[in-house]
Amino acid sequence: MNEARTDEPQADEPRAGEPGAIRVRLPYLRLTLLSCAVLAVLAVPLAAILWGAEGAAGAAAGIALVVVSYLISGFSVAWADAVNPRMIMSVGLVTYGVKIVILGLAMSAIAATGWGGLRVMGGAVILAVLVWTGAHLTWALRSPLPTFRSQRD
């Protein structure tokens, strides 16, 4: 017996172009966004106490940067999967490449200003990546395994 993953949506999943076709592919967002919101509620006031308004702005900007970056990736890959699952890798890689170039240019421009919140922003980026990744991993480990359909030769 040969087991193969089906590229077709499940019976209850909307097909490409139907309402909800992208949303159904992003169930992990609830936990990841909630986790980053909790991080922001804790980190921004702490940064304000330790480094003032610039630190608070840096913490908020760093967390927001990670959330926006991961949302762009998630939505682009979900769109590709809804259109044609064979597009996932190429769309994901192009999205990643474009994001890295834009991020590098933006961070260079911010660094050139001498802004005092840059170090706190960098720390917040690292924390937000860890929180998002941990939440996403937690969601993945608690989710049911994908379904497979037996194909006979």
For the chain, the structural domain boundaries read 25-141
Cα angle: 128, vertex 75, 35; to 5 degrees: 30
Contact 6, 103 (CB under 8 A): no
One-letter amino acid of 39? L
Rounded distance, CA 117 to CA 152, Å?
60
- Which pLDDT value is given to residue 1? 43
Rounded distance, CA 101 to CA 55, Å?
25
- Which pLDDT value is given to residue 148? 66
Contact 40, 63 (CB under 8 A): yes
State pLDDT tens for residues 74-110: 999 999 988 888 999 999 999 999 999 999 999 999 9
State pLDDT tens for residues 131-150: 999 999 999 999 887 766 76
Please, what's the largest Cα pairwise distance for the chain?
Answer: 67
